[in-house]
């Protein structure tokens, strides 16, 4: 908004680039020429949450079993101690669990609420944290466990990348699903104890959840480390200031490269017995 105000539809003053105002890391070899630098770090407020305290639910469907699920298994699945795949078809080779909810082309509200019910009543009943991701979400469970050390699982927590709907006219905030939605168990308990449910099976699950939590007076907790899109969809300097937790979508990218470049515990990882190192500029 400030930039548009200064720009004045092309009639305003031109901006002056000053290379000394750098967006380089404090350890960069350019630091001696920078008036500004930054250091990025992952929030850590104590010991990382235990692997067994995070349950991961992956939403998928039969048509994506052959291309998206193998990516999950090649990348971040190994970081998750407790993970289940939910689909419209029970495939023992993955394996997937058929929740009895037909796949929809649009929103997946029915499937998501079925996952919440299963988490609360059937899946590791004392696990304090639930993460729901899409089958084309790339996520670092290793980093998420560090981030969750900053939150109290005994409080109703709904965490991820916050979007807004109609905020100027009495709308609500919501956690966008593609980047991953994180719930404390108590948040799921409060949600399911309420009467707030999907207005249709194919309603947008993330927006319905935002509406429900808003009605319950439970605030959305935003973290810029979750991302609804791919690395290439963000300004390079924006991403250089953070250690990301997730990205979303496989369109026109190599998702395995994206994971090992941006999200793996180290920027160099051994993959299929070979050491790989990727340039973030290409992704």
Nearest alpha-carbon partner for 254 in 226, 225, 232, 224: 232
176-205 tens-digit pLDDT: 999 999 999 999 999 999 989 999 999 999
Q: At what angle do helices 205-216 and 185-193 cross, to 10 degrees?
A: 80
Based on the domain organization, do 249 and 128 belong to the same domain? yes
Based on the domain organization, do 88 and 31 belong to the same domain? no
147-164 tens-digit pLDDT: 999 999 999 999 999 999
Based on the domain organization, do 86 and 194 belong to the same domain? yes
- Does pLDDT of 276 surpass 50? no
18 in any annotated domain: yes
Based on the domain organization, do 102 and 191 belong to the same domain? yes
Based on the domain organization, do 16 and 103 belong to the same domain? no
Based on the domain organization, do 5 and 139 belong to the same domain? no
Based on the domain organization, do 144 and 4 belong to the same domain? no
279 in any annotated domain: no
Q: Are the C-beta atoms of 256 and 74 separated by less than 8 Å?
A: yes
Based on the domain organization, do 122 and 242 belong to the same domain? yes
- Does pLDDT of 281 surpass 60? no
Q: Are the C-beta atoms of 129 and 185 separated by less than 8 Å?
A: yes
Based on the domain organization, do 190 and 82 belong to the same domain? yes
Q: What is the pTM of this model?
A: 0.85
- Does pLDDT of 267 surpass 50? no
6 in any annotated domain: yes
Based on the domain organization, do 25 and 113 belong to the same domain? no
Based on the domain organization, do 23 and 81 belong to the same domain? no
Mean pLDDT for 122-137 is 92
Mean pLDDT for 54-76 is 97
List the end-to-end C-alpha distance of the chain, in Å, as a whole number: 28
- The per-residue pLDDT of the chain, averaged, comes to 89
For the sheet containing 221-222, what is the strand order?
96-98, 82-87, 54-59, 129-134, 181-184, 158-160, 221-222
Non-local (6+) Cβ contacts of 19 within 8 A are: 33
Residue bearing the bigger pLDDT, 77 or 21: 77
Q: Which domain CATH number covers 174?
A: 3.90.550.50
83 in any annotated domain: yes
277 in any annotated domain: no
Based on the domain organization, do 99 and 32 belong to the same domain? no
Domain count, the chain: 2
Among 34-43, 134-143, 270-279, the range with the most confident prediction by mean pLDDT is 134-143
Instruction: Count CB atoms within 10 A of the CB of residue 82.
Output: 17
Tokens representing 206? 């993330």
Residue 88 belongs to domain spanning: 72-266
């Amino acid at each position: 908004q400030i930039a548009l105000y200064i720009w004045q539809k092309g009639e305003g003053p031109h901006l002056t680039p000053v290379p000394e105002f750098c967006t380089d890391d404090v350890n960069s070899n350019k630091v001696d020429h920078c008036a500004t630098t930054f250091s990025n770090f992952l929030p850590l407020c104590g010991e990382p949450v235990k692997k067994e305290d995070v349950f991961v639910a992956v939403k998928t469907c039969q048509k994506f079993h052959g291309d998206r699920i193998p990516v999950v298994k090649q990348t971040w699945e190994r970081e998750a101690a407790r993970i289940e795949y939910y689909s419209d078809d029970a495939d023992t080779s993955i394996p997937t669990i058929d929740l009895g909810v037909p796949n929809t082309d649009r929103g997946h509200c029915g499937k998501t609420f079925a996952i919440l019910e299963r988490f609360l009543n059937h899946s590791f009943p004392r696990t304090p944290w639930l993460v729901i991701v899409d089958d084309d979400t790339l996520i670092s469970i290793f980093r998420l466990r560090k981030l969750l050390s900053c939150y109290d699982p005994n409080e109703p927590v709904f965490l991820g990348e916050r979007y807004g709907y109609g905020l100027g006219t009495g709308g609500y905030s919501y956690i966008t699903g593609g980047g991953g939605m994180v719930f404390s168990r108590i948040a799921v308990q409060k949600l399911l104890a309420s009467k707030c449910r999907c207005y249709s099976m194919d309603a947008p699950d993330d927006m319905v959840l935002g509406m429900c939590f808003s009605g319950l007076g439970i605030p959305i907790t935003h973290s810029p480390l979750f991302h609804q899109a791919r690395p290439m969809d963000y300004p390079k300097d924006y991403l250089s200031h953070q250690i990301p937790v997730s990205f979303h979508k496989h369109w026109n990218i190599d998702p395995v490269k994206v994971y090992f470049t941006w999200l793996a515990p180290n920027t160099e990882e051994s993959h299929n017995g070979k050491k790989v190192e990727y340039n973030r500029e290409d992704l």
